[in-house]
Amino acid sequence: MELLMPPTLGKPRLATLSFDRKFLYCIAGFFVLVVLVLPYFTINTYVIGLGIQGLIYVLLALGLNVVVGYAGLLDLGYVAFYAVGAYTSGILTTKFGWQMWQAVPAVILACIVAGIVIGGPTLRLRSDYLAIVTLGFGEIIRITAQNLEITGGPSGIFGIPTWSFGDWSFNDGLSLPAWSIPAFFLVVGALIGASLYAMKKQVAAIVTGSVAVLTAVIMAVLSGSLTNTITFSSKVILYYFTAIIVLVLGLVGIPRLAQGKLGRAWKATRDDEDAAEAMGINTYAAKITAYIIGAVWAGIAGQLNATYISSIAPGTFQFLQSALVLMAVVIGGMGSIPGVVVGGLFIFLAPELLRDVWDNRYFAFGILLLIVMIFRPKGLWPATSVLPWSRDRRAKDKLPSANEVTA
């Protein structure tokens, strides 16, 4: 009877996965630590600005990953929703006097409507036809914004206000007691760690607690004295932390959706739409839900970008932006949350880092992309691997042949 049983995965396999998972948590913890303490090491507006734009690119890639990576829909007009979010917030705040936080629900609603209007008739198409139609819709949105008076025409919208709450705005800066910031991270880390421990994720809880303690210690040391007052005089730093908060919501919420019933419907539709329909899955509802969720995230990223740079213009929302975000998803690893983060940062930061290295930086950037695609065809961090260099999680141990069973 034992000969007829397939070989078990065994302890070495489980131990390897366990180590990989622990190492993944450590990498994530280190990344969070670097992101949080970066403003304490430098207040250079250029560096922090690069961080903000990089985080916005990651937000866009997270949204497109739902559409392309999970649902398998090739969307070449994703920048349309980026424009919808930016223009909706810009119009409401400059033309109608809304505060930026009041425009957030309107941006979400506008992106949902745009997702239904664009996705409703097009998501019944497949493969190349869907790509061509979404590309057309992306251009329609840009040309429409370029020719409407309310959107500012070719000049766009200028003087978009910053975030404000009552009488206080980001322009006023923020002053806090030095002890309050380390205390905040300790409390938040303790709450998240306790929640993870209650969910029996001990390693994640330990890493979260360690990151919170290290962040608090570094901030306390760099503050000089806990009795001092820390002043964030530049609104750029406040935008940086706002982008971090929104990104954290995406990194927590989107994987939870992907692991649930809706996420399984997306993946079944992506792998074989006909088979998914035969199993009773409403593939059209699954696709349009993914499309709407991706649209909402692009709209929020558009609003963040519009209020950060204080102006928007139709030239910002060209097809190249859709191509770059799609490139970030593919280069990082379709369906992989760590891969999308790495891919988004790579696509945005690589040309900037090459600026001082080579005059023709985009030529060098193209060579880098070719090298990545040749040696990492599944992406820098594939969805089927816990770590970029680890074994494929879906690989099955080879079953014994008939001769081995009867031997």
- Where b means 16+ CB within 10 Å and e means fewer, 198-227 reads eeebeebbbbbbbbbbbbbebbbeebeeee
pLDDT digits (tens, 9 = 90+) for 332-382: 888 888 888 988 888 888 888 777 766 677 777 788 888 888 888 888 888
Query: Region 25-50: what's the mean pLDDT?
Result: 79
Query: Three-state SS for 177?
Result: strand
* pLDDT computed for residue 13 by the predictor: 40
| Residue labelled with tokens 């990498």 | 27
Query: Three-state SS for 370?
Result: helix
CA-closest candidate to residue 145, choices 160, 157, 161: 157
- CB–CB of 393/17 below 8 Å? yes
Q: Which two tokens stand for residue 360?
A: 């023709």
Split at pLDDT 50, 70, 90, the class of 212 is confident
Query: Three-state SS for 246?
Result: helix
Query: Region 223-227: what's the mean pLDDT?
Result: 69
Query: Region 158-169: what's the mean pLDDT?
Result: 86
**Helical residues (DSSP H) of 148-201, grouped into ranges:** 180-198
* pLDDT computed for residue 399 by the predictor: 40
- Where b means 16+ CB within 10 Å and e means fewer, 364-387 reads bbeeebeebeeebebbbbbbebbe
CA-closest candidate to residue 105, choices 305, 250, 303, 314: 303
Please state, in angstroms and rounded to a whole number, the distance separating the CA atoms of residues 46 and 71: 36
Average pLDDT for the chain: 82
Task: State yes or no: pLDDT of 325 exceeds 60.
Answer: yes
What phi and psi values does residue 216 have, to the nearest 5 degrees?
A: -65, -40
* pLDDT computed for residue 10 by the predictor: 43
Query: Region 154-176: what's the mean pLDDT?
Result: 85
Task: State yes or no: pLDDT of 266 exceeds 60.
Answer: yes
Please state, in angstroms and rounded to a whole number, the distance separating the CA atoms of residues 284 and 287: 5
pLDDT digits (tens, 9 = 90+) for 239-253: 888 898 898 888 888
- Where b means 16+ CB within 10 Å and e means fewer, 257-280 reads bbeeebbebbbbbbeebeebeeee
Task: State yes or no: pLDDT of 264 exceeds 80.
Answer: yes
Please state, in angstroms and rounded to a whole number, the distance separating the CA atoms of residues 114 and 111: 5
Half-sphere exposure of 341 (CA within 13 A, CB side): 17
pLDDT digits (tens, 9 = 90+) for 64-107: 999 999 988 888 899 999 999 999 999 999 989 899 999 999 99
pLDDT digits (tens, 9 = 90+) for 144-153: 999 998 998 8
